[in-house]
Amino acid sequence: MAQILVVAELSEGHARKSTLSAITFAKQAGLPFSILVLGASTSAAAQELAAFGAQKVLVAEDASLEHPLAERYAPTVAAAAAGFDVIAVTASSYGKDLAPRVAAKLGAGYAPDISGVTNSGGKLAYKRPTYAGNAYAHVEVTTPKQVVSVRQSEFLAAEASGGASPIEKVAVAPVDAAASRVQFVRLEAAKSERPDLGEARVIVSGGRALKEKFAEVLDPLAGLLGAAVGASRAACDAGYAPPELQVGQTGRVVAPALYFAIGISGAIQHLAGMKGSKTIVAINKDPEAPIFQVADYGLVQDLFTAVPELVTELKK
Amino acid sequence: MKILVPLKRVSDPDNANKIKISGGKVETTGLEWKPNPFDEYAVETALRLTENGANPKARLGEVLVVSFGPKEVETTLRAALATGADRAIRVDATDDQLDGDLVARALKALVEKEKPDLVLLGKQQVEGDSNQVGQLLAEYLGWPQATFAGSIKSENDTALEVHREVDGGSMVLKVTLPAVVTVDLRIVAPQSVSSKHSPAHKYADGVRFAALMAIMAAKKKPLVEVKLAELASDTALKIKVTGYEAPPARKAGVKVKTVAELVQKLKTEARVI
Ligand SMILES: Cc1cc2nc3c(=O)[nH]c(=O)nc-3n(C[C@H](O)[C@H](O)[C@H](O)COP(=O)(O)OP(=O)(O)OC[C@H]3O[C@@H](n4cnc5c(N)ncnc54)[C@H](O)[C@@H]3O)c2cc1C
Ligand SMILES: Nc1ncnc2c1ncn2[C@@H]1O[C@H](COP(=O)(O)O)[C@@H](O)[C@H]1O
């Protein structure tokens, strides 16, 4: 039977939650799967991931894998993919950087941003969003091996099912010439006590309307709710919020339990990144703003009075 | 420096909500065509890397643009020539004859012929959001890649320092040329691109517009047509689209009158706080 290899995404030695969505994809595809963990220090992540019902947890550990550079990771992933038919990575900046290089090495077709999978008699078919979320395409990969990236927002994180998958070491493949021509300089990680956009249960997002008061207005609300902070592209472009907060078609795609869109008009490209959220609240002073067409609860008010009032009300 | 920029035309992203699906197909009739926004940024980046910002008329390198598409994409190519690109190539094909992998393999052949120092692409085209051609090309060429570039500093045109926009921050890489770089939105900010020709020029935000004179002059710049088969012997697709469907509509909810009502509904109705 066909088998899936899930490539884990790590952060500081632990599996990111996006990996658990990729595991759910494998389970929904109805095929046995193994998990590949790569990095300079993998034991914690391998232990964590051994509890999800994988056939095996494969580990490629080497100092040269400290930073996730596609030129260094792709040869090892491609080598580990022998014996697997589908290679599933996360549809994050990490996965999207890596997956095509793996596909090229394997001569495989690559279907990005998968939001659904069906298995009919062992043949997998995928669903993926196109045209800023206005059309879902049904696609098939025509090559014997297939590479996909899995949208975290569309597959619930898998729950640990207990048990202990055997952990096995796999060889770190020799790197090719490209790797010697790229050098990791540094990671400028955003300094924030807030949860990551992909992992938060609540997201408080702000738009252009917040101007220089972006943080001043949103931080108390986000802090109170333990929420991640997001932003529209216009807010990022204007410098009110840092670029990594951008939610949308060309930013992060999120689906929290609760999403606040504050001073955001609801352009189609923004909706593409958040309309999978369970409950959406919109605060906007324009009653005609398109965001109200997707909001479960709409409040037509000036945000500069409504948000502080909301904070006070929630504290009661 | 010689830079190759592949660019694709897409249906106007501002009209994305006018997309209609009928009989499992996307209706594109009536939609306006535009260059893929990220590809316009890539052209702007290429121009900035090959000029002195204070005197942009003197081109200090070569920018070659290429598009895979039908005859009409020549409009997109001419527009790039008008903003300053030197030469254009159209590879004759229709969208349904192409997937990212085939474009990448054909680009590889073109790179081997043209020998650019750098290939600059958009990080994704906004119809399919496939986000793969640059990475596939880099692997096929055996070149390093820097994806999702928010800024580029060229060190003497032999290596680039690139700030990549990644989830949760920015990753700084140094790539030795020749290399593949895909660009993100922030690359067209006033000081995102610098080179030895122009270490500290402050540009206007965004991409440049072509003057009427330049649009006229661009009609005389070289634009050649190449057959897809000349660049790729195997034109089989690796991805097959079997149909499209409209996404489930999310229905509008209710308007609340006060903050207190909102909080009460979130607590007792939605039960999310
Ligand atoms: C190729 C492409 C990709 C894109 N990708 C993305 C993406 O990933 N994410 C994204 O967000 N956008 C994206 N965009 C941009 C998108 O089209 C919109 O321009 C953008 O989302 C608008 O941001 P905004 O809602 O903050 O600003 P605006 O559209 O300016 O809306 C501001 C809103 O605030 C309201 N407002 C003003 N003052 C107040 C007040 N005091 N109180 C309450 N409400 C107030 C106004 O009524 C208005 O509705 C993309 C565009 C393109 C072309
Ligand atoms: N048909 C095409 N013609 C020229 N360039 C293309 C074409 N398709 C994709 N590209 C380039 O590849 C980039 C990434 O596209 P994609 O991987 O399809 O999202 C685009 O931004 C373009 O620079």
H/E segment holding residue B2: strand B2-6
Is A36:A58 a contact under the CB 8 Å cutoff?
Answer: yes
The pLDDT value recorded for residue A175 is 86
Q: Which residue has the tokens 């795609």?
A: A253
CATH of the domain at A31: 3.40.50.620
Q: Looking at the domain assignment, is residue A241 inside a domain? A: yes
Helix (H, G, I), strand (E, B) or coil at A124: strand
3-state SS, B97-135, equals: HCCHHHHHHHHHHHHHHHCCCEEEEECCCCCCCCCCHHH
The ipTM estimated for the assembled molecules is: 0.96
Ligand nearest to the CA of A273: 1
Q: How far apart are CA B119 and CA B46, in angstroms?
A: 9
Residue B253 φ then ψ, to 5°: -95, -135
pLDDT (mean) for A197-212: 97
Same domain, A38 and A161: yes
Same domain, A147 and A22: yes
The pLDDT value recorded for residue A146 is 98
pLDDT (mean) for A83-110: 98
- Indicate the pTM of the whole model: 0.97
Please name the residue whose Cα sits nearest to atom 1 of ligand 2: B68
Please name the residue whose Cα sits nearest to atom 45 of ligand 1: A263
Structural domain count of chain A: 2
- Give just the sign of the alpha carbon dihedral A2, A107, A25, A124: negative
Task: Tell me: pLDDT of B18 over 80.
Answer: no
In which band, very low, low, confident or very high, does the pLDDT at B252 lie, cut at 50, 70 and 90?
confident
The pLDDT value recorded for residue A250 is 93
Q: How far is CA A151 from each of CA A127, A251, A277, rounded to the nearest angstrom? A: 11, 13, 13
CB contact under 8 A, B161 and A185: yes
Q: How far apart are CA B116 and CA B5, in angstroms?
A: 10
Ligand 2 and B148: CB distance under 6 A: no
Task: Tell me: pLDDT of B20 over 90.
Answer: no
Is B116:B178 a contact under the CB 8 Å cutoff?
Answer: yes
Ligand 2 and B128: CB distance under 6 A: yes
Ligand nearest to the CA of B73: 2
Q: Compute, in angstroms, the gap from residue B175 CA to the centroid of ligand 2.
A: 22
Most A CBs within 10 Å, among B25, B34, B139, B174, to test the A interface: B139
Q: Name the token pair of A243.
A: 């670029």
Q: Looking at the domain assignment, is residue A276 inside a domain? A: yes
In which band, very low, low, confident or very high, does the pLDDT at A78 lie, cut at 50, 70 and 90?
very high
Task: Tell me: pLDDT of A198 over 80.
Answer: yes
Q: Looking at the domain assignment, is residue A190 inside a domain? A: no
Same domain, A170 and A275: no
Q: Compute, in angstroms, the gap from residue A270 CA to the centroid of ligand 1.
A: 7
Q: Which amino acid is at A65?
A: L
Same domain, A101 and A18: yes
pLDDT (mean) for A4-21: 97
Q: How far apart are CA B121 and CA B142, in angstroms?
A: 17
Same domain, A212 and A175: no
% chain B with pLDDT above 70: 100
Using the Cβ of B255 and the Cβ atoms of chain A, whether some distance falls under 8 Å is answered with: yes
Q: Name the residue of chain A whose CA is nearest to B162's CA.
A: A185
CB contact under 8 A, B169 and A182: no
Using the Cβ of A253 and the Cβ atoms of chain B, whether some distance falls under 8 Å is answered with: no
Task: Tell me: pLDDT of B17 over 80.
Answer: no
Please name the residue whose Cα sits nearest to atom 14 of ligand 2: B124
Q: Looking at the domain assignment, is residue A74 inside a domain? A: yes
Mean of the per-residue pLDDT values of chain B:
95
Same domain, A154 and A86: yes
The pLDDT value recorded for residue B250 is 86
The pLDDT value recorded for residue B14 is 80
Ligand 2 and B90: CB distance under 6 A: no
- What single-letter DSSP state applies at residue A273? T
CATH of the domain at A265: 3.40.50.1220
Q: What's the gap in Å between the CA of B179 and the closest CA on chain A? A: 9
The pLDDT value recorded for residue B259 is 98
Same domain, A34 and A165: yes
Q: How far is CA A55 from each of CA A4, A23, A120, B103, rounded to the nearest angstrom? A: 10, 12, 22, 36
Domain boundaries defined on chain B: 2-268
pLDDT (mean) for A281-292: 97
Q: How far apart are CA B36 and CA A145, in angstroms?
A: 30
pLDDT (mean) for B148-169: 96
- State which residues form the domain around A249: 202-315
pLDDT digits (tens, 9 = 90+) for A295-306: 999 999 999 999
CATH 3.40.50.620 fits B2-268, yes or no: yes
Q: Looking at the domain assignment, is residue A191 inside a domain? A: no
The pLDDT value recorded for residue B31 is 83
Beta carbons within 8 Å of A79's beta carbon, 6+ residues apart: A170, A171, A173
Within chain A, what is the greatest distance between any pair of CA atoms?
Answer: 62
Q: Looking at the domain assignment, is residue A288 inside a domain? A: yes
Using the Cβ of B129 and the Cβ atoms of chain A, whether some distance falls under 8 Å is answered with: yes
Same domain, A173 and A260: no
The pLDDT value recorded for residue A190 is 78
Ligand 2 and B235: CB distance under 6 A: no
Same domain, A159 and A21: yes
The pLDDT value recorded for residue B251 is 84
Mean of the per-residue pLDDT values of chain A:
96
Please name the residue whose Cα sits nearest to atom 19 of ligand 1: A234
Q: Name the residue of chain B whose CA is nearest to A68's CA.
A: B171
Q: HSE on the CB side for A30, CA within 13 Å?
A: 10
Q: Which residue has the tokens 């596909």?
A: A103
Same domain, A165 and A207: no
Task: Tell me: pLDDT of A47 over 80.
Answer: yes
pLDDT digits (tens, 9 = 90+) for B21-63: 988 888 877 788 999 999 999 999 999 999 999 999 999 999 9
Same domain, A125 and A258: no
- Chain B from 67 to 126: CB within 8 A of any A CB: 99-101, 104, 123-124, 126
CB contact under 8 A, A306 and B150: no
Rounded to a whole number, what is the distance in angstroms from the first to the last CA of chain A? 57
> Nearest-CA neighbor of A242 among B18, B259, B49, B150?
B150
Q: How far apart are CA B273 and CA A222, in angstroms?
A: 13
> Nearest-CA neighbor of B77 among B4, B146, B150, B185?
B4
Residue B268 φ then ψ, to 5°: -100, -25
The residue out of A149, A180, A211 marking a domain boundary is: A180
Helix (H, G, I), strand (E, B) or coil at A155: coil
> Nearest-CA neighbor of B227 among B77, B65, B109, B87?
B109
